[in-house]
Copies of this chain bind each other. A is one copy, B any other.
Amino acid sequence: MSYNTFGRVFRFTTWGESHGPALGAVIDGCPPGLDLSEEWIQPFLDKRRPGQSRFTTQRREPDQVRILSGTFEGRTTGTPIALHIDNVDQRSKDYGEVAKAYRPGHADYAYDAKYGFRDYRGGGRSSARETAARVAAGAVARAVIPHVRIRGWVEAIGGDAIDPASFDADQIDANPFFCPDPAAAARWETLVDAARKAGSSLGAVIACEATGVPAGWGAPLYAKLDSELAAAAMSINAVKGVEIGDGFAAAALSGEQNADAMRPGENGPRFLANHAGGIAGGISTGQPIRLRVAFKPTSSILTPVETVTRAGEATEIATRGRHDPCVGIRGVPVVEAMMALVLADQMLLHRAQTGR
């Protein structure tokens, strides 16, 4: 069954395919009285927009968002907010070959197995183009939690990681890779360029941090904040791994090493470490929330790969069309959006339960 709604009280539903006329999101459960305009949303979409450097797909989409409902005189009314983005630059003729054979690593075969047929143009529903709708919805979520600051960056491309010691937040927006380490950014330019020219692709690790989340958001178990963030991140196309705080590294530690000791602080305890990524027992501690996400390399590559046709015959396929050599780069605003959407939902749930 296709499930395209996310969230519990702040819920959004996305729709749209890569090569349909438009895509969008409907946000239900947004509090009334918040300032909201297309001008507020657009910069987030611009950050994700393709075609801004030679390191992303050359598909040209203005990604202009329109608000079709749910606001009145510049403020939210508490009713569903419909966000609409037209698709402008589809080129369906690129996909003739894809209609006949399954691209390895892509959803093609699984789709056919599930649905019996598929919209093969640009990946249809499983295109990364869908993430535009998430980013627009995420901008609305940010308006719900104005005191929370959410910031993502690329931590590694193709296995080449930044040097944590060189982390400089001001650098993130100063290069086409959302890279906080200038030396790494320089190396990635060579790396991604080479992949692009070879028609290859590279995986990436994205990190995202939220500051300003007070202690107390989340739940002990099934909707624990870790679980909600994991579901959100893993719902993005191409994501195959998620970590909160130290993640897999914590599995190699002892209890002493992993303890986030506390000293008296001004507003609640002052923590001496943040192995837990700002979440203990599923609930925020007031420390920064830390999330890491693994994007696989996109399977759209020029090198022919062995595969089968719909009829089950052996063949090879090379993916033409316009693609991101490293889809993880544009994943940064998407991961940020998903974090904003989860946190806005949790803030409202917390308010429901506690009145605060």
**Inter-subunit contact B26/A15 (CB<8 Å):** yes
Task: Say yes or no: is A75 at the interface (Cβ < 8 Å to chain B).
Answer: yes
Also in contact, A4 and B28, with CB within 8 A (given A70-B15, A242-B234): yes
Verify if A275 is at the interface (C-beta below 8 Å from B): yes
13 contacts between A and B (CB under 8 A): A2-B220, A5-B222, A13-B80, A22-B69, A31-B354, A33-B117, A72-B117, A77-B117, A108-B280, A109-B262, A114-B215, A227-B234, A264-B314
* CB <8 Å contact, B294 and A248: yes
In the bound complex, CA of A40 to CA of B29 (Å) = 31
Q: Mark A297-313, 1 if CB is under 8 A from B, else 0.
A: 11111010111100011
Confirm or deny: A118 has a beta carbon within 8 angstroms of a beta carbon on chain B.
yes
Are B69 and A15 in touch, CB under 8 angstroms? yes
**Which A residues from 192 to 222 make CB contacts under 8 A with B?**
195, 200-205, 214-222
Instruction: State in angstroms the CA–CA spacing of A6 and B80 once bound together.
Output: 13
Closest to A75 in B: B117
Closest to A252 in B: B159
The reply to whether A268 and B353 contact each other, CB–CB distance below 8 Å, is no
Contact across chains for B294 and A247 when beta carbons are under 8 A apart: yes
Name the interface residues of A165-200: CB closer than 8 Å to any CB of B: 195, 200
Chain B residues whose CB sits within 8 angstroms of the CB of A102 once the complex forms: 262, 269
Task: Please state if B3 and A28 are interface contacts (CB–CB under 8 Å).
Answer: yes
Look across to chain B and name the residue whose beta carbon is closest to the beta carbon of A115.
B32
Q: Which of B110, B218, B221, B255 contacts A4 (CB 8 A)?
A: B221
For A70, give the chain B residue with the smallest CB separation: B15
State the CA gap A280–B17 with chains docked (Å): 17
Docked Cα-Cα span, A82 to B105, in Å, equals 28
Q: Specify which chain B residues have a CB less than 8 angstroms from the CB of A115 in the assembled complex.
A: 32-33, 77-78, 354
A348 adjacent to chain B (CB < 8 Å): yes
B17 touches A29 (CB 8 A): no
Bound-state Cα–Cα, A259 to B203, Å: 12
Known: A21-B68, A80-B15. A264 touches B312 (CB 8 A): yes
Please indicate the chain B residues that have their CB under 8 angstroms from the CB of A251 in the complex: 156, 159, 203-205, 240-241, 294-296, 328
Complex Cα distance, B268 from A223, in Å, reads 37
- The reply to whether B247 and A241 contact each other, CB–CB distance below 8 Å, is yes
Which of B218, B224, B250, B259 sits near A104, CB closer than 8 Å?
A: B259
Beta-carbon nearest neighbor of A297 in chain B? B255
Query: Interface centre among A130, A251, A280, by most B CB within 10 Å?
Result: A251
Known: A82-B24, A231-B228, A252-B158. A13 touches B13 (CB 8 A): yes
Q: What residues of B have a CB within 8 angstroms of the CB of A261 in the complex?
A: 104, 305-307
Do residues A1 and B260 form an inter-chain contact, with CB atoms below 8 A? no
A272 touches B306 (CB 8 A): yes
B-facing residues in A110-129 (Cβ within 8 Å): 110-111, 113-119, 123-126
